Structure 1
Amino acid sequence: MLNIVTIKEVKIQIGQLCKAKRKEYNLTREQLADALQMSRATIQNIESGKNATLDNLLKMANHFHLLETIFEGVQSLKHSSSDPLSLY
C-alpha cells in the first residue's frame, strides 16, 4: 500500500505548525502580522493551510527560528543518493 502525501495535506501541516509556534510565543495573529510586515489575513490563510507564498512561509520560519532546520533538511535531501535532488 502506497502512502501518498498531497500538497493540501502538507499545507495543512505547515499551517498547524505555524499556528502552534505563534501560540507558543504568545502572539496574536495581529502581532505576528505586524512583526512580519504581513496582513492578519495572510497569517490566517497560512494557518488554515491556504495558499501562501514561499517568501511568507520562510519569513515565518525565520521568525520562529526554523529557517536553519529547513535549510539543513533541504541540504540532506540534496546529498542523498536516493533522491532526484542529488543530481543538482
Structure 2
Amino acid sequence: MLEIITIKDVKVKIGEACKALRKSNNLSREDLAEALEVSSTTIQNIENGKNATLDNVLKVANHFGLLQSITKEIDNTTRNQNNISLY
C-alpha cells in the first residue's frame, strides 16, 4: 500500500529532528536562536512543526552539519529521476 506523506508530516519530522539535535548538543532554544541570529520563537515554531521559512530551516540544518547530506539526497533523487526509462 502506498504511504501518503503530507507537508504537515514533514514539518513535524523536521521539528522533531531540530529538537533532538538541539538537546543532544545541550543547547537551549535561546542558545540555538542566538547562534542562528533568529528569535527563540522561530526555533519553537520549527520544533512544533509550524510554518518556518526555508532559510530558517536551512540555517538549522547548516548549524548541525546537515547541508551536505541534504544536497546529496537531492542530487541522488535528481539523478535517479533522470535515469528512469519508459522503454
Normalised by the length of structure 2, the TM-score is 0.91
Q: Which amino acid aligns with 1:60?
A: V
Instruction: Decide whether the 8 Å contact of 1:15 with 1:49 is kept in 2.
Output: yes
Structure 2 segments unaligned to the other structure (5+ residues): none
Instruction: Decide whether the 8 Å contact of 1:12 with 1:49 is kept in 2.
Output: yes
Aligned-residue offset at 1:81: 3.1
Deviations 1:27-77 (A, max 9, x none): 000000000000000000000000000000000000000110001010101
Name the counterpart of 2:62.
Answer: 62
Q: Which amino acid aligns with 1:63?
A: H
What secondary structure sits across from 2:81 in the alignment?
Answer: coil
What secondary structure sits across from 1:2 in the alignment?
Answer: coil
Structure (1 or 2) with the larger CA radius of gyration: 2
Name the counterpart of 1:35.
Answer: 35
Q: Which amino acid aligns with 1:58?
A: L
Distance in 1 between residues matched to 2:8 and 2:83, nearest whole Å: 22
Instruction: Decide whether the 8 Å contact of 1:30 with 1:40 is kept in 2.
Output: yes
Distance in 2 between residues matched to 1:77 and 1:21, nearest whole Å: 25
Pair 1:53 & 2:34 matched:
no
Q: Which amino acid aligns with 1:9?
A: D
Runs of 4+ with deviation above 4 angstroms: none
Structure 1 segments unaligned to the other structure (5+ residues): none
Q: Which amino acid aligns with 2:81?
A: S
